[in-house]
Structure formats: structure tokens, C-alpha cells
Amino acid sequence: MEATFKRSYPNALGYSRSDYLGLPTTLCKGCGHNSIANMIISACYELELQPEKIVKFSGIGCSSKSTAYFLDRSFAFNGLHGRMPSLAEGALFADRTLKGIGISGDGDTANIGLSQFKHLARRNLPMVYIVENNGVYGLTKGQFSATAEKGLKLKRQGENPYLPVDIALEAIAANASFVARSFAGDPKQVKELIKAALSHDGTAILDIISPCVTFNNQDYSLHSYSWGKGHEAPLHEVEFVLPREEITVEDFERGTVREVTMHDGSVIVFKKLEREYDPTNRTEAIRMLEQAIRRNWLITGLIYVDPNAPTIFDMYPLDGEALNRLPAEKLRPDRRALEMINSSFQ
């Protein structure tokens, strides 16, 4: 059911980039999260999405605040700490044509929200789930999160004694159908991965290293700009191609390009770098992540994708119109139905 009122724009593809903006950020200058917000804006603009058809979700933390800094013309729900996935699992059933974008942080996902995060992945609810991962709690001024590396030193906390949680590995273990890792210092890759994620029919998890310039940007820290720049090891060069665009691969040498066709007909093109990597092979993905941990690599790119995994919507007979548009007469069974119920209990 389309709206019948008059729009200020001639057609759905006529939005300018400014139509995707949010409020001015209140995060620290140089925060990785701002760069990611900008890439979400660019990705939505380039994909020509209608802002009103996007629903933003977030939990609690610096990252979760950032849903206010993009897509001001979209609905948003800033929920409870670590419990954004459940909100989305309820809300997105209302209208399955809406696209969900969830923004979380490492504390919100890997500490308090680990359970909901993993259950979201295993249910494969179609939505984008971005973790802005900086290894540290910002709003409470600098405590370790579960993704902080062992041995990390923070001003008031001393040295972190625990091994970290690897969000991408957790996602794959939970049978996620789309798992990517990127680095806020590599905005082009971030943008291409967000575009791919937005076209994925399932939960698309993006673990984006997003340095905290105030509390955790020491050169040796795994979540800092300088470490990321020095250690980023892209699995491939990613390019996202819309269904209607022509793929021009002549530029690439034969055998150096891999393509994955998404559910909506769009294509992700992977250009081979130093090593061969197949992002549709789950075993390979787990092996690669293990190797990255042992060798201290910041591997980035699309780690794993299964474009055809069944989603949570496939588990219900939902073929009709949006649930939240059903008229009252479709929601209340008639008197005869109640008579039958009554007689079945006599």
C-alpha cells in the first residue's frame, strides 16, 4: 500500500545525499563511529533506498548513540543495553519490506549482549548488524570490553588479564549467514561491505574496528588507527554491484575475480589479493579467523556469506500484506469460530 499524499520529490530514486543525513554528531572528534555513520549515509544514497523504508536499531553505548547521526528520516528505536536484537526480531515482523540497520558496540554485543547477538545470527533475521568495535567502554570512561586484547593497558584499569572474544568467530559459530570485518580507517571497504550487507537476505554482521580516540588509541592497541593501518590484511578487494548494473571485469586478470550473487540479484565482486580466499566456505572462514588470531592479522573483507540461507521469515506462513496493516476484521475470528471453540470444550 503506497502513500497517496504528494511528495516533495519527483520519484523514489530522486533523493540527494543530504536526505540521508542525521543530526550533528556528539561523539568525539576523530571517533571511528562518525566515519562509519558517513559510510552508511553514502551506501544508502548509492543504493537509492527510501529513508522511510529503513528502521534503525541500537542498544546502549557510544556506538548505539550514533543511530541519531544518520538517516534522520527513518524510524529508530534506541533500546536497552545488549538487547537491540530482540527489538528488531519483533519490529521487523510488522512489515517485511522494511530494512533494519542495527548499530552496536563491542560491550553491547560481546559483553552484555552476547546471547541476543548469537541468537539473532542463528535465526537469520534479515537486517544489517554493525558492531563498532573499539575494545573499550567510552560512555563510562574507559573500561575493558570483552574484545579488548589480553595485556592491553588502560589508564584506570591496569592490564587486561583475559583473552578476547572474536565477534566474527562467534557469529560464524552461531551459523550467521553473512560475516564481514572491516576497519573504520578503510572507508571505501566499509561502504562496499555495508552495501553488500544491505542487499543480503538474512542477518549481515559487520565487525568494524572503530578506534576510540579518547580511551584506546595507543599505537600498540589492536583497536587503534595506527595499528589497524599497519596490520590490515584485506582478504580481497570488495566491490558491490547492483542487479541492474553491468559487471565489467575486463580490468581484472582471468582467475583473479570471484563473484557471489545475492538473493536480490546483486553481485559482490571479490578481487583476489595475495592469497586465494573463498568466502562461501564456512570451514575456510573459521580456519582463516583462527590463523588471524595466531598471527595478529587484522583480516578484513567478507569472511563468510551464504546468500540462500533460510531466514526467520521463512519459518512462518507469511505471504500476505504487512502484518501491521491488517484490518481489525482479519484479526478477530468470527462468532462461528468461537462457537466451535466452545463446543470443543463441552
Partner 1 sequence: MRINDFSITFSTVNGSGSATANNTLLRAIFKMGIPVSARNIFPSNIQGMPTWYNLRVSAAGYLGHTENCDILVAMNPETVQDDLDKLESNGLLLVNDDIPLKDVPQKINKVLMPVKAILESSGTAQNLSIYLANMVYVGVLACLLEIDLQKIEAALEYHFDHRRNAVEPNLKIVQAAFQWAQQNISHECQFRLKALENQGEKIMIDGNTAGALGSLFGGLQYAAWYPITPATGLAEALNEYIPRLRLDPQTGSSTCVVVQAEDELAAIGMVVGAGWAGLRSMTSTSGPGLCLMAEYLGLAYFAEVPIVVWDVQRVGPSTGLPTHTSQGDLAFTYFISHGDKDMVILLPADVNECFEFGWKALDIAEQLQTPVIVLSDLELGMNIWGAEPFAYPDKKIERGKVLWEKDLENWLKKSGQTWGRYKDADGDGIPYRTVPGNLHEKAPYFTRGTGHDEFAHYSEDNRVWEENLKRLKLKFEQAKKLIPQPEMVKQGKQKIGFISYGSTHMGTSEAVDRLQTKDYPVDYLRIKALPFTREVEEFIQAHETIFVTEANRDGQMKNLLCMNFPKYAERLRSIARCDGLSLSAAWIVEKFKAAIKAKG
Q: What's the CA gap between 132 and 78, in Å, rounded? A: 15
CB nearer to partner 1: pick between 255 and 317: 317
15 binds partner 1 (CB under 8 A): no
Least CB distance to partner 1 at residue 325 (A):
7
Out of 32, 61, 85, 211, name the contact with partner 1 by CB under 8 A. Answer: 85
265 Cβ neighbours under 8 A, 6+ residues apart: 243
328 binds partner 1 (CB under 8 A): yes
Q: Give the cell for residue 65.
A: 548513540
Q: What's the CA gap between 244 and 282, in Å, rounded? A: 29
Q: Segment contacting partner 1 (CB under 8 A): 94-102, 153-161, 168-176, 242-250?
A: 94-102
Give 334's DSSP letter: -
* Alpha-helix residue ranges (DSSP H) falling in 92-216: 106, 114-123, 167-173, 187-198
Out of 28, 80, 173, 309, name the contact with partner 1 by CB under 8 A. Answer: 80
246 binds partner 1 (CB under 8 A): no
CB nearer to partner 1: pick between 69 and 178: 69
41 binds partner 1 (CB under 8 A): no
Out of 45, 75, 252, 297, name the contact with partner 1 by CB under 8 A. Answer: 75
Strand ordering across the sheet containing 257-261: 236-241, 267-272, 257-261
What are the angstrom distances between the C-alpha of 211 and each of 35, 136, 231?
10, 9, 14
Least CB distance to partner 1 at residue 98 (A):
6
83 binds partner 1 (CB under 8 A): yes
Chain-centroid distance, C-alpha 308: 18
25 binds partner 1 (CB under 8 A): no
Out of 32, 79, 126, 307, name the contact with partner 1 by CB under 8 A. Answer: 79
325 binds partner 1 (CB under 8 A): yes
Out of 14, 48, 115, 188, name the contact with partner 1 by CB under 8 A. Answer: 115
87 Cβ neighbours under 8 A, 6+ residues apart: 57, 77, 79
Q: Segment contacting partner 1 (CB under 8 A): 49-57, 131-139, 153-161, 241-249?
A: 49-57
Could you tell me which of 271, 272, 265 has the C-alpha nearest to residue 245?
265
Residue 44 CB coordination number (10 Å): 26
Could you tell me which of 60, 79, 58 has the C-alpha nearest to residue 127?
58
Q: By CB under 8 A, name the binding residues for partner 1.
A: 2-5, 7-8, 50-53, 55, 67-68, 73-80, 83, 85-95, 97-98, 115-116, 119, 312, 316-320, 322-326, 328, 330-333, 335, 337-338, 341-343, 345-346
